[in-house]
């Protein structure tokens, strides 16, 4: 097991009921034009793919998940899905928001575009800041993965923290190390990659492993 890995009983990893009204930070809009990048097309593809795979399940009309890519190597600015999206939609330019940094001790996010940055923008920012090798962060939710996390030997945060909070950020940074896939205790997962394809295919592979394990366990009963 890699350094920083936390092991928990499988049954303790569950999805939380999130408060859709929570506002973990305020948005300071420094640009109004939507992100302009050829990479947004690829991000749109992976949003739809996560929906199709059930890795961003819809809750109260919104998808539980957020995906991003780093704009330029060596910088922490990134493009992320806007808050309140259903990822199965035909996502137009306003579905994506640029995040350039934070202010006011992390209580504000500096953004560009017309949408509201995802509630997990602080988490994405700090992971990009800590891991210069990471160029894409895909955050999803999967009961199948969470239920089999311990048996699959997946690293997990020590504690369950409120989504969008600095407590969640600190819990992730505490076990992040060089991991490329991480369970957020009682919440979801992060899949990291040097490219969006790598982050997306890594999540697909873990989901496949969880499904195969479930089949073997069912056959053995």
| Residue predicted with more confidence, 7 or 51 | 51
Residue 122's nearest CA partner among 135, 140, 104 is 104
Q: Percent of the chain beyond pLDDT 90?
A: 64
pLDDT over threshold 90, residue 110: yes
pLDDT over threshold 80, residue 8: no
Cα distances (angstroms) measured from residue 115 to each of 28, 53, 65, 206: 12, 25, 16, 31
| Residue predicted with more confidence, 97 or 94 | 97
Q: What is the pTM of this model?
A: 0.87
pLDDT digits over 9-47, tens only? Answer: 433 444 444 434 456 899 999 988 888 778 999 999 999
The CATH H-level (homologous superfamily) assignment of domain 24-219 is Class II aldolase/adducin N-terminal domain (3.40.225.10)
Domain ranges (residues) in the chain: 24-219
Confidence class for position 221, pLDDT limits 50, 70, 90: low
CA-CA distance, 46 to 111, in Å (whole number)?
A: 22
């Amino acid at each position: 097991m890699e350094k920083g890995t936390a092991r928990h009983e499988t049954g303790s990893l569950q999805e939380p009921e999130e408060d859709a009204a929570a506002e973990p930070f305020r948005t300071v809009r420094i640009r109004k034009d939507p992100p302009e990048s050829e990479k947004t097309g690829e991000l749109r593809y992976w949003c739809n793919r996560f929906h199709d795979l059930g890795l961003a399940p819809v809750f109260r009309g919104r998808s539980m998940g957020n995906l991003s890519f780093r704009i330029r190597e060596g910088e922490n600015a990134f493009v992320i899905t806007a808050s309140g999206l259903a990822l199965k939609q035909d996502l137009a330019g306003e579905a994506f928001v640029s995040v350039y940094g934070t202010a006011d001790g992390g209580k504000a996010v500096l953004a560009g575009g017309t949408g509201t940055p995802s509630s997990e923008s602080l988490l994405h920012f700090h992971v990009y800041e800590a891991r210069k090798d990471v160029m894409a962060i895909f955050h999803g939710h999967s009961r199948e993965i969470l239920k089999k996390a311990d048996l699959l030997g997946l690293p997990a945060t020590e504690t369950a923290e409120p989504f969008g909070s600095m407590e969640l950020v600190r819990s992730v940074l505490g076990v992040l190390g060089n991991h490329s896939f991480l369970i957020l205790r009682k919440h979801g997962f992060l899949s990291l990659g040097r490219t969006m394809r790598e982050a997306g295919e890594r999540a697909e592979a873990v989901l496949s492993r969880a499904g195969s394990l479930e089949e073997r366990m069912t056959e053995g009963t």
